[in-house]
Each structure stands twice: as structure tokens, then as C-alpha cells.
């Protein structure tokens, strides 16, 4: 079985067909810059272009950087505010003429890591943290997802944690990896004190540079890099369509 996985981010929108039984990409990913402003019609048009690029006629799974309830976008930290309360699944389905499943981007990335990646075969409380334009979190308890945890928005230093310790904060403030790692270490220790997880899996755009900061972290809880690096979002988004496969039988 296969599905097109699309990872919608604050800076880029990337897609690839994925074998949802093995978690393998079936073609190199295709990336477009996130439109500015990232309004619902503009993003829907980009999704349509990505589907067209692969000549896709099957199921589509999209990860989106917001809390998602039943296909409805509820927040908009790094996308245009007009997304709030938009029925994204219906919008994308209309734009593409295909069946679409919409899920929080970090939750999607987490599903890929738990099933095929760094969390494979592991039980207990596991966090997948994605570091990119924002900070995404996905919480799994014995393999079961607790959706929409949104812990990039806990308060630290009087601001949203993601404003202080995301990859865009590192770039915006021109922080060295050492200085940024100090902040991220504090963030992980804060989550640790609140949730006492068994494992942190670090993914997102910054994960491909993990050797620059993982050795600098000092946490009680083990921290490992995401196995899929930045492709976890694409693979996980494709996996979410299993619900549609089941529904279409």
C-alpha cells in the first residue's frame, strides 16, 4: 500500500510517495517554498502542485504545523492566522480531487519514528521533538499517540519556548550551536520535570545537524536523533492515511 505524504512547514512544503507498509520513500522528495502569506487557498494550490508533480491519484496524508481536530485547523503559530477554524481536509480534498487526511506535523513525524525509526520496539513514555521554524512535540505512551500536545508553547523566559529555542531562534539571533544547545537543554529538562519520559527523539530541520548539539546536552532522560531526520514528517503523514484505507474497504 502506498500514499503521498506531504509535510507542510513554516518555510517549506515537501512531499513524496511512501510505501506505508515499509515506511520507505518511493521517489525523491519534492520541495516548494511555503507561500507568503501562507493563506489556506495559497497552501492548497501548493498541495495541488505537489500532487501533480507525482501524477498522484491515490490517498494523501498531510502534516500541518497546528493543532488539528477532525481535519479542522485550530491554531496558527507559524502560518497565516486565517487558517484558524478552517476545515483543511475538505479544502485540500477540493483542491486536489483526492481523499486527504490532515494531522499535526509533529504527531505525523512521531508516528514514523515510533513505527519504523528511533522509537521502534520501545515502550513507555516517548517524546518526539521537532526543531524547525517552531518546536513540535508528539507524545506516545506505549506506542499510543496523545495528539496535539503543543508543548513548543510552554512559557520559558517569559515567552513561548519555541520563540526562544527553535531553529529559527538560533538563526535569528545568530547563536553558536553551543549557546543554542544550552537553551535546548533547559527546554528538555523542563519537559523532563513535567512528564518524566523514557526517551526523547529529536527530529525536524535541525536534526540533520544533531552531531553539533546532541553531545552538548545533559539530561536525565536519553536523547537520540530521529532516524528519518527531516523526512519523518513525510513518512508519518503518509502513514496517517491508513485510517482512510480502512474506511475505503
Residues at the interface with ligand BGC (CB under 6 A): 65-67, 75, 77-78, 104-106, 130, 132, 134-136, 150, 152, 162
- Look at residues 93, 91, 87, 82 and name the one whose alpha carbon lies nearest to residue 70: 87
Compute the least distance from the CB of residue 162 to ligand BGC, in Å.
5
Q: What is the rounded CA–CA span in Å between residue 245 and residue 150?
A: 28
Compute the least distance from the CB of residue 243 to ligand BGC, in Å.
19
Compute the least distance from the CB of residue 77 to ligand BGC, in Å.
3
Q: What is the rounded CA–CA span in Å between residue 138 and residue 200?
A: 10
Q: What is the rounded CA–CA span in Å between residue 237 and residue 231?
A: 10
Closer Cβ to ligand BGC, 65 or 71, answer by number: 65
Closer Cβ to ligand BGC, 11 or 219, answer by number: 11
Compute the least distance from the CB of residue 215 to ligand BGC, in Å.
24
Residue 241 pairs in a beta bridge with none
C-alpha cell read off for 161: 519556548
Contact 162, 135 (CB under 8 A): yes
Phi-psi region of 55 (alpha: psi -120 to 50; beta: other; left: phi over 0): left
Closer Cβ to ligand BGC, 40 or 56, answer by number: 40
Compute the least distance from the CB of residue 217 to ligand BGC, in Å.
20
Q: What is the rounded CA–CA span in Å between residue 174 and residue 176?
A: 7
Please give the residue whose beta carbon sits closest to ligand BGC in the complex: 134
Closer Cβ to ligand BGC, 12 or 58, answer by number: 12
Closer Cβ to ligand BGC, 5 or 65, answer by number: 65
C-alpha cell read off for 154: 510552554
Q: What is the rounded CA–CA span in Å between residue 18 and residue 218?
A: 36
Closer Cβ to ligand BGC, 51 or 139, answer by number: 139
Compute the least distance from the CB of residue 110 to ligand BGC, in Å.
10
Amino acid at each position: 500500500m502506498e500514499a503521498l505524504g506531504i509535510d507542510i512547514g513554516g518555510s517549506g512544503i515537501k512531499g513524496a510517495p511512501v510505501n506505508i507498509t515499509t515506511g520507505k520513500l518511493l521517489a525523491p522528495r519534492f520541495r516548494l517554498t511555503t507561500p507568503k502569506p501562507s493563506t489556506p487557498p495559497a497552501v492548497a494550490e501548493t498541495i495541488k502542485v505537489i500532487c501533480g508533480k507525482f501524477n498522484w491519484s491515490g490517498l494523501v496524508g498531510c502534516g500541518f504545523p497546528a493543532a488539528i481536530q477532525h481535519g479542522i485547523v485550530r491554531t496558527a503559530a507559524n502560518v497565516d492566522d486565517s487558517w484558524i477554524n478552517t476545515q483543511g481536509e475538505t479544502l485540500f480534498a477540493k483542491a486536489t480531487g483526492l481523499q486527504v487526511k490532515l494531522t499535526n506535523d509533529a504527531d505525523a513525524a512521531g508516528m514514523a519514528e515510533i513505527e519504523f525509526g528511533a522509537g521502534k520496539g520501545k515502550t513507555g513514555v516517548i517524546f518526539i521533538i521537532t526543531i524547525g521554524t517552531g518546536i513540535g512535540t508528539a507524545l506516545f505512551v506505549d506506542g499510543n499517540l496523545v495528539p496535539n500536545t503543543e508543548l513548543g508553547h510552554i512559557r520559558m523566559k517569559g515567552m513561548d519556548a519555541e520563540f526562544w529555542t527553535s531553529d529559527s531562534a538560533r538563526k535569528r539571533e545568530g547563536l553558536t550551536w553551543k549557546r543554542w544547545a544550552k537553551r535546548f537543554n533547559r527546554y528538555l529538562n523542563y519537559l523532563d520535570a513535567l512528564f518524566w519520559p523514557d526517551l526523547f527523539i529529536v527530529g525536524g530541520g535541525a536534526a540533520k545537524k544533531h552531531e553539533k548539539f546532541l553531545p552538548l546536552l545533559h539530561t536525565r532522560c536519553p536523547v537520540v536523533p530521529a532516524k528519518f531526520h527531516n523526512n519523518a514528517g513525510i513518512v508519518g503523514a503518509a502513514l496517517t492515511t491508513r485510517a482512510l484505507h480502512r474506511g475505503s474497504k
